[in-house]
Amino acid sequence: MAIHLRSISDCDFKDAVSLLVRGFPNKPESFWAAGLERLMGFPHPIGSGPVGYIMTAGAKDVGIILTIPSQQATRRGMTGHVVGLAAWYVDEGHRWLAPRMLQKVLSDPDAVFLDLTPSTAVQPIIERLGFEVLHEGFLIFLSPLAAMRSGLSRVKILSPQATGISLSKDVQMMLDHHSELGCIVAVLRDGENHSPLVFSRLRSRGMPGARLIFAESKAAVADNIATISRFLLRKGILFLKMDANRSDSIAGSILSRWSTPTYIRGAADRSRIDFTYSELVFLGAEAFNRTRGLS
């Protein structure tokens, strides 16, 4: 059976929302409409590709996948095209076409592809298509407990607008964007070093928490978890979720879970975290719980 992928545009908005509701019914139509509108209205890099595709088979819309585009800088200062895969859904009767759909989406040989919320059914599919585990799971820090640990007095958490903060124009713009999108942004200052931090708010069992979205060094976060936790407590955040691997030995975490991996295809730097401009920001990680979708 032939399949056709069309880029999601304004004229496809209602069709895309309908497919998202069908695939991910734990969230109402208003949630998906607002999230897709926010995603489509955001100024993505020029020439970076569409925000997603609708799959048609037999003249019927049977699937959808979001392909959230961004540009991410590496430690060496180079910038690469990144595509965040999310909200992948195919109707049950056409699910055998899902791998072919994904192969078409992955046709750009120069892009780095991320899948931050793959279901257990999707993980072997993307592994066969060249994805590998970026982080095996996550660690959780309880802010009240971590804040009681001793920290270095020279290390401070400051606003990106604080006097004396030295950030590149691109980093400052990234922090401004994520602040506008509802994230908590800050700068970790250690002497002359200024390290940006981004946290996305979430809730678990009614408790307010945050997920680490950006950090140039996971080790620096671990070394300064007391200072960071005191900052988060002032923001009303009671726990911090940080993606990690088993090799990341971090004292002070109270829980580890290795059954929710994130995946990448392309160059990977596992010493840092960069989930900027991803579905964790535009939609929230909770959007993909208890779904009929693939992602």
Name the DSSP class of 47: T
Judged by DSSP in three states, 96 sits in helix
| Alpha-carbon distance values, 283 to 1, 23, 209, 278, 288 (Å) | 33, 15, 16, 8, 9
Look at residue 166 in the predicted model and tell me its pLDDT: 81
How high is the pLDDT of residue 46? Answer: 57
Where, residue-wise, is CATH 3.40.630.30 in the chain?
3-136+277-288
* DSSP letter string, 121-156: TTHHHHHHTT-EEEESEEEEEEHHHHTTS---TTEE
Q: Does domain 138-257 have CATH number 3.40.630?
A: yes
Check whether domain 3-136+277-288 has CATH 3.40.630.30, yes or no: yes
Q: Give per-residue pLDDT as tens, 25-43.
A: 999 999 999 999 999 988 8
Report the pLDDT value the prediction gives residue 150, as an integer from 0 to 100.
75
Stretches in the chain below the pLDDT threshold 70: 45-47, 73-79, 151-153, 163, 251-252, 285-293
Kind of pairing between the strands at 207-215 and 239-244: parallel
pLDDT for 21: 95
What region does 144 belong to: left with phi over 0, alpha with psi -120 to 50, or beta?
alpha
d(CA 276, CA 274): 6
What pLDDT sits at residue 13?
94
Straight-line distance from the first to the last Cα atom of the chain, in angstroms, rounded to the nearest whole number: 23
Please give the C-alpha separations between residue 68 and each of 114, 118, 220, in angstroms, as whole numbers: 9, 15, 28
Please tell me the predicted confidence (pLDDT) of residue 233.
96
Note the pLDDT tens digit of each residue in 257-288.
888 899 999 988 999 999 999 999 999 866 66
pTM for the model stands at 0.90
